[in-house]
Structure 1
Amino acid sequence: MTPERPPTPGTPTHEARDAAKESRDRARQFWNAAGTRLGKGTDMPEIMVFAAAGRTVEQKRGLARDLTDAMVKNFQVPAESVTVQIVESPKDSKAKGGVLFSDR
């Protein structure tokens, strides 16, 4: 019988490889379960809208609702998985055609 050689430095042991595989399997199970709860894989679409400041909360609500409805219809995802983020810039920090919005 040949004596077992010590592992080469930097080479994972069988135990380390098994532990890493188990960790990957647990992560895969978690994400598969998360996707099942959402109903359609792991699709979690996010829409970012960049706009000059000045819209009312009612306008932002309407936009968020309309964008969410469009994602539900076209991407076949549940409404609760859609994130809409409205990023507003002060009018003196946004320009179009070289002219600040505050100067229009």
Structure 2
Amino acid sequence: MAERHVDITSEATLVAALRLIRAQIAEKKELEQAIEDKLKGFLGDATEARIGSTPVVYYRWTKPRETVDVKSLRKEHPDLAREFTKISPGSRRFVLVDPTTGEG
């Protein structure tokens, strides 16, 4: 599909607002991670933290999951891999470009 562009100069405030919101979210995520790490440190090997007698945090192992090593499957059984491979349509990705680097 051919690349197309549209000029949104009149909507530049929307782009600025999105940048600001994403920066605030990133800052909050960092704070969230720091608090979570501190709580995990308090838990150590425990699977539950309580305030008084009320559970407030669970830190439990998930069930193991099985995955297929697609790279090995294609190498060892290419016909079988080809037979069971489904192609999904592509999707559009929304990328906010950094104006200083030109990268998303």
Fold shared, TM-score > 0.5 on shorter chain: no
Length-normalised TM-score, structure 1: 0.30
Length-normalised TM-score, structure 2: 0.30
The structure that is helix-richer by fraction is: 1
The structure that is strand-richer by fraction is: 1
**Which structure: larger Rg?**
1
Query: Which is bigger in relative contact order (C-alpha 8 A, separation at least 6)?
Result: 1
